Amino acid sequence: MRRMGIEALYRKPRLSKPHPGHTVYPYLLRGLEITEANHVWAADICYIPMAKVFCYLVAIMDWASRKVLSWRLSNTLDTSFCIDALEEALSLYGIPHVFNTDQGSQFTSDDFTDRLKEQGIKISMDGRGRWMDNVFIERLWRSVKYEDVYLKAYSSISEVRKGLTLWFDRYNLRRRHQGLDNRTPDEVYWSTLPTKKEAM
């Protein structure tokens, strides 16, 4: 079934549920040419099934290079683990021009969007039900699940954390992408990162 892409039909956790009181921002990436690192970052949340329960994974990705800049696990869908991932990405890699997410309540919360605004980052959000607006990170979820999570059948968050640490290291440093001219995300990120002089 895995090889053929067949899966059982069942109700999955709805992770992109908007909060009625939160501001939703327009999608800014349509027609935008994205060829340099730190031009656009994207974030999303997926659920990770374990033996008896599941946990949640958030990742922040550089759009041009597909490099995963940071990620966090949580057993709840609060906003704090998303902010932790954002803070780590900002501290390690600088400031993107645009940050794209879905309309989930974690990303539309004032705590999250205020942090982006403080840094002068433009906020972009996918249209409702339009997974194609954030296609690269959706492909990442498929790879994470089919190449690691489904094969390992983790029983605890600590096991998931250890396994995904190895997987993301391999993904960034050694996995070559056909869409990146057979280069790794890490190679593309550092080779397309504008210098300070170019950015001015």
Per-residue pLDDT of the chain (200 residues), as tens digits, is 555 545 554 444 554 555 455 588 999 998 899 999 999 999 999 999 998 889 999 999 999 999 999 999 999 999 999 999 999 999 999 999 999 999 888 999 999 999 999 999 999 998 654 545 678 898 999 999 999 999 998 999 999 999 999 999 999 999 999 989 999 999 999 999 987 544 43
For the chain, the residue count is: 200
Domains and CATH numbers, the chain: 40-195 (3.30.420.10)
Nearest to 46 by CA among 114, 155, 134: 134
Contacts of 119 (CB under 8 A, 6+ apart): 90, 95
Question: What's the one-letter identity of residue 184?
Answer: T
Contacts of 110 (CB under 8 A, 6+ apart): 22
23: left (phi over 0), alpha (psi -120 to 50) or beta: beta
Q: What global pTM score does this model have?
A: 0.85
CB count, 10 Å around CB of 1? Answer: 7
